[in-house]
Structure 1
Amino acid sequence: MSDLKELVDRYIQIWNTPDDSARRALVADVFTEDGAFVDPFMEVAGVDAINAGIGAVLGQFAGLALTLLGEVDAHHGIARFRWQIAPEGGESIVEGSDVAVAEEGKLKAVYGFIDKMPAA
């Protein structure tokens, strides 16, 4: 399942690409054309909508990076992994867990869960 782990690494890269056109190219490379991203705050489908949604989140957390927490656990085209958003070398601001479903070498859907979020 190393291919799926590599796909998750490329997915994480999307979240660390602030340039809109570069990020859109990555989204198109990593997700199926009708791929979806769903979490408690966003439900989008399609490359353009996924790119716009991630861009909006990046605007809220400018200067921070999304990184994996631990290893990717993957089998049968499904992966689960934990992540954090934090300043380099600093304490996490947001943490979560995602489940990704792959189809023919691309992500068909990513379902996100928030484990830690700053108070409003």
Structure 2
Amino acid sequence: MDDIVTGYLATWNARPQERGRLLEEHFAPAVTYTDPLAQVRGRGELGSLIDGVQAQFPGFVFTPVGAPDAHHDQVRFQWGLGPEGVEPVVIGFDVVVLDGEGRVADVRGFLDKVPG
């Protein structure tokens, strides 16, 4: 469970040259991602979404908030986004569903705290 969250957040924090490997390792080829601001399908579109988030929040990092919870092939966890080492500016909650190989196949994201 912790490995899923660690790999997921590492992918969101990775620079483009490293992200492709992490997407292949941790996400299914046809991964779907839906949150209040975006809906994408496939590793390529997810990588482009991550590029956009990193451009919007330069220098910010994703970190785990609290402990993940899981059952069957699902993991839910809260994350923070902000400058490293300080209180997150954005806090969200994701539920990921895994494929048969333990990779993320579907993400349902929610935003709990967003700056005004």
Taking the aligned partners of 2:25 and 2:37, their CA distance within structure 1 comes to 24
The residue that corresponds to 2:73 in the other structure is 77
Runs in 1 of length 4+ with deviation above 4 angstroms? none
Pairwise CA distance, 1:5:
2.8
> Which of 93, 108, 113 is equivalent to 2:110?
113
User: What amino acid is the match of 2:62?
Assistant: L
Taking the aligned partners of 2:94 and 2:10, their CA distance within structure 1 comes to 15
Taking the aligned partners of 2:115 and 2:66, their CA distance within structure 1 comes to 22
Taking the aligned partners of 2:84 and 2:110, their CA distance within structure 1 comes to 22
Aligned-residue sequence identity (percent) comes to 36
The residue that corresponds to 1:61 in the other structure is 57
TM-score (norm 2): 0.94
Q: Deviations over 1:86-118 (max 9, x none)?
A: 212222110010000001211111111000111
For 1:2-81, list aligned pairs within 5 A: 4-17=1-14, 19-81=15-77
TM-score (norm 1): 0.91
- Please tell me the root mean square deviation across aligned C-alpha atoms, in Å: 1.0
SS at 1:53's partner residue? helix
SS at 2:55's partner residue? helix
Indicate if the aligned counterparts of 1:95 and 1:117 stay in contact, CA closer than 8 A.
yes
| Unaligned residue ranges in structure 2 (runs of 5+) | none
Taking the aligned partners of 1:33 and 1:85, their CA distance within structure 2 comes to 25
Q: Deviations over 1:36-76 (max 9, x none)?
A: 11101110010100101111101111111100001110110
